[in-house]
Chains A and B, each alone.
Chain A
Amino acid sequence: MPREITYREALREGLDEELARDENVCIIGEEVAQYNGAYKVTEGLWKKWGDKRVIDAPISEAGFIGMGIGASMLGIRPVMELMFYSFAYVAFDQMMNNAATCRYMSGGLTNCPIVVRGPANGGTNVGATHSHTPENIFANMPGLKVVTPSNPYDAKGLIKSAIRDNDPVYFMESTVLYGMTGLVPSNDELEGGELIVPIGKARVSREGSDLTLLAHGRAVVTSLAAAEILGAQHGISVEVVDLRSIRPLDEETIMASVRKTHRAIYVEENKPFCGVGAQISSMIMEQAFDDLDAPVLRITSADAPAFYSPPIEKLQLPTADEIVARALTIC
């Protein structure tokens, strides 16, 4: 029977299964081992797998992420945890130059099967330095993959795919989603005995016919809530497409939905300037212009650093009410 488990537990199951499957998989990060993870994603894994496989790193992101990249070139498959994805900026040279371009600059002689995972979200009153959403920044770099699960099922299935992938995968979670529950099948009820979600396939989370809300990460949850309101209160049938990965991108599913509904809004917690929605709306304009009955809109975080003050920060992120209001302008 599918079990109701949290996003956090789903990730942990995925990590645990991959640790069991391949002895070259190891977990490295700040507080991932003895502390059981700053957000308890890795809880219990150190006790189960020991010092060799689950390793507490000093607060030294450029150092340990770079070290993981070097180790991955020799066949280790490190899963690096960033306590916050905001800390990626401390390791930026390693993540952008070394992980992303070594394969190219070596003419294909090397590859870096590394996963760098952690929460990439605002909305938790921790100020601007801890609230960055860099999915657009890393997706800008060819050679990298960017994955953004929005629910427990995908969190488990995608982390397993990410670990098996032979390219660098930057896996962006959300602290707000860690406690979210959802149905995740147990392995014994799955064909093949395990849950795998391929990277590069979007999911139609909700079917509809009047408007497509495109989103990734936690914005999918917000979009689904808005879709309910639009349907119940305004009679608008909304389709929600969860990209699941930004790069590679499931263009077909996006375009098919837009061609069906003729209206699209991209919803994201990313910033607007050159955000993911900017890329997607440009693609829709190029590929589905004649199918559109309205301009493609984008709903993003406010174009400002994250505000600390809790009631104000809430207003910076996309809300269901905002989505409803903007949708009504084009429907």
Chain B
Amino acid sequence: MASKTAKTSTVPFADAPINASLTAEQKIDLLRTMVRIRRFEQTSLKYYHDGHIGGFLHLYIGQESVAVGSISLLGENDHVITAYRDHGHALAVGMGMDECMAELFGKKTGCSKGKGGSMHYFAPDKNYWGGHGIVGGQTPLGAGLAFALKYKGLKGCCLCYLGDGAINQGAFHEALNLAALWDLPVIYIIENNGYSMGTSQARSSAFPKEGLAARAEGYNMAWKKIDGVSLYEIRAGVQEAVARAHEESKPTMLEIMTYRHKGHSVADANAEKYRTKEEIQKYMNEHDPIEFWKNVLIGEGVITEEDYKAINKEAGAEAEASAAFAIKSPYPDESEIFDDIYWEVDNNTEAGRTGRHFFHG
């Protein structure tokens, strides 16, 4: 790489303490993680079109900075839960491409043994609690993870992600009330890509002129709106919320402005109908977080264009290798249908052996 020590950056938020302390290697790692997410998803899209992947595939392309920037701030007692557009968060917490890709292919080697699919990645060993398919359904769970941390007296927080389409679900409002009422260290991160599936924000949400997150005022909760193109801005904004959670056990609502380059899911046939091609192109050209961060790092002398190409190539190869791994992995066995339903049955405890648990056949 070009340099191990960064030049002084003039990019906004570069001088925030949490960013000023980043080493060159850490900055490159952030870039690498974003690129790996993108190449993973581009590869998954290819295999989806080839018929290897079933069901839904909600791509995160264009939003990578949100997961990577925020998760880069987390420590031992900090937890993550998100919705169905979950591949980026999974790779950001350190899940491997192999188990993630194999899950998409429905294989036994998948992170959920082929039982969850694209929307339901989990890695509790990495403090990652899914991967949830119902819009907004994860938001009370996020409050619960924070409740558990507080109950146990641990200094930690839960980052609970949701889309801008989830903010109108009742469960979310109930979770906000509980979080504020009970001072739960949860940070709700609204990834605002402007569309709840095919319905624009203007057609789906009533909100103050300051933005969606300003609804937090109604719950007497701190909030902030963040431009999601820049990892520096995301890290600076989220860090304030993490500190609030850690030091004061208080929740925060963040709204991070972002954009998905693709449709709501791969099955979204109208991705270029409810949005103009010009709009999509504008965001791809001017609001691509990877392109932005690459240029920041080149500007700081941390990497060269050649370094970036190498990172990209390496990530592409890793993604292809994960697809090869997925292809050669076996499908789950039919006998696994009744595993992982009851903990007590799986662990062959006395409770698990008492009474009939399954009624098939």
- CB within 8 Å for A65 and B140 given contacts A75-B148, A97-B134: yes
Least CB distance from A266 to B in Å reads 15
Contact A107 B122 (CB under 8 A): yes
Interface-forming stretch among A127-135, A219-227, A245-253? A245-253
Given A75-B148, A248-B357, A249-B355: A67 and B122 within 8 A (CB)? no
Total residues of chain B contacting the partner, CB 8 A: 59
Tell yes or no: A231 within 8 A of B by CB: no
Q: Are B148 and A94 in contact (CB under 8 A)?
A: no
Chain B residues, CB < 8 A from A63: 140, 143, 171, 173-175, 177-178
Q: Is the CB of A198 within 8 A of B354?
A: yes
A58 at the interface (CB under 8 A from B): yes
Q: How far is the CB of A158 from chain B (nearest CB, A)?
A: 12
- Which stretch, A159-167, A171-179, A303-311, touches the partner chain B? A159-167
List the one stretch of A98-106, A208-216, A232-240 in contact with chain B: A98-106
Interchain CB contact under 8 A, B177 and A60: yes
Task: Judge whether A62 and B112 touch: CB under 8 Å.
Answer: no
Q: Are B171 and A94 in contact (CB under 8 A)?
A: yes
Partner of B147, one of A67, A97, A251: A67
A173 to B170, CA, bound (A): 28
The minimal Cβ–Cβ distance linking A117 to chain B, given in whole angstroms, is 17
Which of A26, A62, A110, A198 is in CB contact (< 8 Å) with B174? A62
Cβ-defined contact, A166 with B174, below 8 A: no
| Contact code string B105-116 (vs A, CB < 8 Å = 1, else 0) | 000001111111
List of A residues within 8 angstroms of B114 by Cβ:
107
For the complex formed, measure the closest distance between the CB of A237 and the CB atoms of chain B, giving whole angstroms. 27
Separation in Å of the B45 CB from the closest CB of chain A?
Answer: 22
A107 touches B112 (CB 8 A): yes
User: What A residues does B173 contact at CB under 8 A?
Assistant: 63
Q: Report if A105-B131 is in contact (Cβ < 8 Å); known contacts: A58-B178, A60-B177.
A: yes
**Please, what's the 1-or-0 string for B317-360, where 1 marks a CB less than 8 Å from any CB in chain A?**
00000000000000000000001111110110111001111110
> Nearest chain-A residue to B174 (Cβ)?
A63
Asked whether A74 lies within 8 Å of B355 as measured between CB atoms, the reply is no
* B145 and A70 within 8 A (CB): yes
B130 touches A (CB below 8 Å) = yes
Q: How far is the CA of A201 from the CA of B351 in the complex (A)?
A: 10
Q: A74-B148, A103-B343, A248-B355 are in contact. Are A58 and B177 (CB under 8 A)?
A: yes
Chain B residues near A58 (CB-CB < 8 A)? 177-178, 181
Interface size range of chain A in the complex: 35 or more
Q: In the complex, what's the smallest C-beta–C-beta distance from A244 to chain B, in angstroms?
A: 9
Q: Quick one: which of B130, B134, B351 contacts A165, CB cutoff 8 A?
A: B351
User: Is the Cβ of B123 less than 8 Å from the Cβ of A67?
Assistant: no
Partner of A68, one of B130, B144, B341, B342: B144
A106 contacts which chain B residues (CB < 8 A)? 112, 115-116, 120, 122, 124, 130-131, 340
In B175-228, which residues have CB < 8 Å from any A CB? 175, 177-178, 181
Task: Kindly name the residue among B81, B111, B132, B144 whose own CB sees the greatest number of chain A CB atoms within 10 A.
Answer: B144
Asked whether B161 is an interface residue with its Cβ less than 8 Å from the other chain, the reply is no
Cβ of A319 to closest chain B Cβ, rounded Å? 29
A69 to B137, CA, bound (A): 11
Bound CA–CA A7/B340 (angstroms) = 34
Contact of B115 among A107, A142, A166 (CB under 8 A): A107
Q: When the two chains form their complex, are residues B122 and A251 in contact, meaning their CB atoms are under 8 A apart?
A: no
Is A109 part of the contact surface with B, judged by Cβ < 8 Å?
Answer: yes
Let me know if B355 and A199 touch, CB within 8 A: yes
B141 within 8 A of A: yes
Residues in A neighbouring B141, C-beta threshold 8 A: 66-67, 69-70, 73, 98
Known: A66-B143, A70-B142. A108 touches B359 (CB 8 A): no
Is the C-beta of A150 less than 8 angstroms from some C-beta in chain B?
no
Report which residue of A63, A98, A248, A283 has the largest number of chain B beta carbons within 10 angstroms of its beta carbon: A63
B residues near A272, Cβ cutoff 8 Å:
none
- Selected from A73, A108, A145, A249, the residue in CB contact (under 8 A) with B129 is A73
A66 lies within 8 A of B122 (CB) = no
Give bound CA distance, A251 to B114, whole Å.
Answer: 32
For the complex, what is the distance from the CA of A104 to the CA of B116, rounded to whole Å?
A: 7
Closest beta carbon of chain B to A250's beta carbon, Å = 5
Which residues of A are found within 8 Å of B93, using beta-carbon distances? Answer: none
The 7 nearest A-B residue pairs measured at CB: A70-B144, A200-B355, A66-B140, A63-B174, A248-B355, A70-B141, A108-B340
Interface of A with B (CB < 8 Å)? 24, 26, 52, 57-58, 60, 62-76, 93-94, 97-98, 102-111, 113, 142-143, 145, 161, 164-167, 198-201, 245, 247-251, 279, 283
Known A93-B171, A106-B124; 13 more pairs at CB < 8 Å: A57-B178, A63-B171, A66-B144, A72-B144, A74-B144, A97-B133, A104-B340, A105-B115, A106-B340, A142-B341, A166-B349, A199-B351, A251-B356
